Structure 1
Amino acid sequence: MACAAATDDSAASTTGTRDEDRSLSGESLSEWRFCEQAESESPSTPPPFWDTDGDDDDDPGPKPSDLFGQHTWRIENFSKEKKREMKSEPFEAGGYKWYILVYPQGCDVSNHLSLFLCVANHDKLLPGWSHFAQFTIAISNIDPRKVKYSDTLHKFWKKEHDWGWKKFMELSKIQDGFLVDDVLEIIAQVQIIREKVDKPFRCLNRPYRRELLCVYTSNIEQIYRRFVEERRTKLIKLIEDKMRWSSFCAFWSAIDPSTRHRMSREKIDAILKVLVKHFFVEKEVTSTLVMDSLYTGLKALEYQSKGKKGRTLSDLDDLPAPMIHVDMDMFVLASDVIDLLERAALEPLPCQPVSPKDEKCSQSRMKVRIGLISAA
């Protein structure tokens, strides 16, 4: 299999095409994952609202757990291996066959181990095929805190049927606990992602989602914050312009109540379609987590609006009063539009980083505001 030169450790195909924005990796993240995995192995109470699999919801699509697969490949006598490339046995994930491809001496790069995830029998698939997947490849270490991880999101198709990292790891580091009795252990986690969706949905299998959240929580919060702040800035400018704001308030007050009532409602599907188009970016590794969290926000609004009791609602007790409600197939503003616009513009946002355990509250607050601002 031919390789083209690569000058960095960004995700790429074996033919050289690469995308620097599609992957995030780093050994400093390994300890975060280790702590999360250690915690998940201990006995726990039932999962909170944001951490459920949604198996009892009304989403008609396949469940993430049915679209997830994991494979462990143990290469014995690795230090003596002379082959230019090696392939694992095929394994299944999401109904498709995959294999791991490793270049022990690098794929057209020197002093590096190259690793790729590949679609098995891609040349025998029907014309026009594509598989959209989020995946993680890891190399085990005798010290779990030093496991080497890399994550990426990629659409596999005829011309990009393999994807991974040419500079996954420097060969000089392999002896630092990665070889145990001359065995190199490679672990692949593959999550197939549904395509062409028009509303937020559960993307990730629960254990895989928890692992990724442990690493990317701050990235997700930055995405929400940037979205909200851009729109808050416009609202603040409007409110600070006394003439324009007074004119708008007078305009709104002059509208008859029945018209204001109609203007304070919007079809849920219309708003969700816009949100998915904005936030679900195929090149961003965090897009699946953003979809998962928007899905959580939508379910939180539905539960609050319906007044459902029990464990699920108790997880939402710390949330502020919602700015919108769900009424059948409509989003409805919770109170007068003038009051809500002032609240959306002036209510302070969380200013400190949050841990994965607490991110449900921070993200839900953001998502309530996103719904209001999008509707406005």
Structure 2
Amino acid sequence: MGTELFSWELFTWGIDNFSERKDVMKSDPFSSGGCNWWIEVYPKGHRGHDDGLAVHLGVAHPDESLRPGWRRRVRFYIVYLDQSGQELCRTPDISRLFCNEIPGCGHTLEFTLTELQEKGFLENNKLRFQIYMHVLEVVNQVKSTKDDMVDFHGV
């Protein structure tokens, strides 16, 4: 096992023709904290939030790239931008433990497509946002034991 220190990193993504999108979209993988990540965007909501835009941060292909027992403790937040790069909305900080059992999590904006357009999120039908991400802890564990515990959203 090991713990490493990482600085805040910024990942920006713009999605053209957003109002025409129906299915989940995934960014290209990017590297941080010793593993690959991606951003998933659910334009029609995710798990019970049928109308709200959902943006998730997740570990890309964890079974292929990480050893059993891996964990990443991450703090992140999402900033939604207008087309000139000005901040429209910022989520609260989200601190999560990512592991095999929980490889992703995110945030849902409770805005319908019409509200996103009215509030300026979709100028020229393009959604732009940034994810600020800080990997706080990296654990690479070869084998897990029956006594291992997983923090599930602070429960």
User: Which TM-score band (shorter chain)?
Assistant: 0.7 to 0.9
**Cα 1:169/1:92, change in 2 over 3 Å:** farther
Residue 183 (1) aligns with residue 126 (2): yes
Partner of 1:164: 106
- Cα RMSD after superposing both structures: 2.3
In the alignment, structure 1 residue 100 sits paired with structure 2 residue 44: no
Q: Determine the C-alpha separation between the residues in 2 that align with 1:147 and 1:101.
A: 18
> 1:133, 1:73 → 2: CA distance?
19
Could you tell me which of 61, 79, 82 is aligned with 2:22? 82
Give unpaired runs (5+ residues) of structure 1: 1-60, 197-281, 284-376
Structure 2 unaligned spans of 5+: 140-152
Q: Is the 8 A contact 2:5 2:137 kept in 1?
A: no
Which TM-score applies when normalising by structure 1? 0.33
Identity of aligned residues (%): 30
For 1:79, what is the secondary structure of its paired residue?
Answer: helix
What is the TM-score of this pair, normalised by structure 2? 0.75
1:152 and 2:94 matched: yes
Deviation at residue 192 of structure 1 after TM alignment = 0.7
- Preserved CA contact (<8 Å) 2:74 2:135: yes
Distance 1:150 1:99 in 2: 20
Shift of 1:159: 1.0
Does residue 119 of structure 1 match 2:62?
no
The one-letter amino acid paired with 1:148 is R
Query: What are the superposed Cα offsets for residues 312-338 of structure 1, whole Å, 9 maximum, x if unpaired?
Result: xxxxxxxxxxxxxxxxxxxxxxxxxxx
Amino acid at match of 1:132: R
Please name the residue that 1:301 is paired with.
none
Which is helix-richer, 1 or 2? 1
Is the 1:117–1:162 Cα contact (8 Å) retained in structure 2? yes
Name the CA distance, whole Å, in 1 between partners of 2:87 and 2:76.
Answer: 20
The answer (yes or no) to whether the contact 1:70–1:93 under 8 Å persists in 2 is no
**Residues in 1 aligned to 2:136 and 2:79: alpha-carbon distance in whole angstroms:** 20
Structure richer in strand, relative to its length: 2
Matched, 1:130 2:74: no
Deviation string, structure 1 residues 239-282 (Cα, Å, up to 9, x no partner) = xxxxxxxxxxxxxxxxxxxxxxxxxxxxxxxxxxxxxxxxxxx8
Higher relative contact order (CA 8 A, sep 6+): 2
Structure 1 residue 82: deviation in Å? Answer: 2.6
The 5 Å alignment of 1:289-300 reads: none
